[in-house]
Amino acid sequence: MITNLHVSNKELKHFKAKFKALSDENRLYILHILAANGKTCVCDLSEQLNLSQSRLSYHLKVLMDAYFISVEKQGKWNYYFTNREEIKKVLSSDLCCLFYPE
């Protein structure tokens, strides 16, 4: 029996995007690379992951939509980096309302 839900549909969709972003091995590997190396050129990501440009772009977009990564353009290249605070929120008290409602 569900009682006193304090989570809006907007909040649920927000967290759904975050968990979707983490549900793929390639995206987890991208986050690992960016966390380990800091700002990384898309050309280097493409080389390390051995993914087509379109596939890599898709994975980067999913991570950006979840606010896990950001991009900075330098010349003709895009450099990606992690948003550490957003990543920390996934397993923090920000999610407590979903799993431990009062």
pLDDT for the residue numbered 89: 80
Mean pLDDT for each 10-residue chunk of the chain (102 residues)?
67 87 92 92 92 94 95 95 87 58 50
pLDDT for the residue numbered 2: 53
pLDDT for the residue numbered 93: 64
State the pTM of this model: 0.81
Question: So where are the chain's domains?
Answer: 15-88
The DSSP secondary structure of the chain, one letter per residue, reads: --------HHHHHHHHHHHHHTS-HHHHHHHHHHHHHSSEEHHHHHHHHT--HHHHHHHHHHHHHTTSEEEEEETTEEEEEE-HHHHHHTTSGGGHHHHS--
pLDDT for the residue numbered 9: 85
pLDDT for the residue numbered 60: 97
Write down the CATH number for the domain with range 15-88.
1.10.10.10
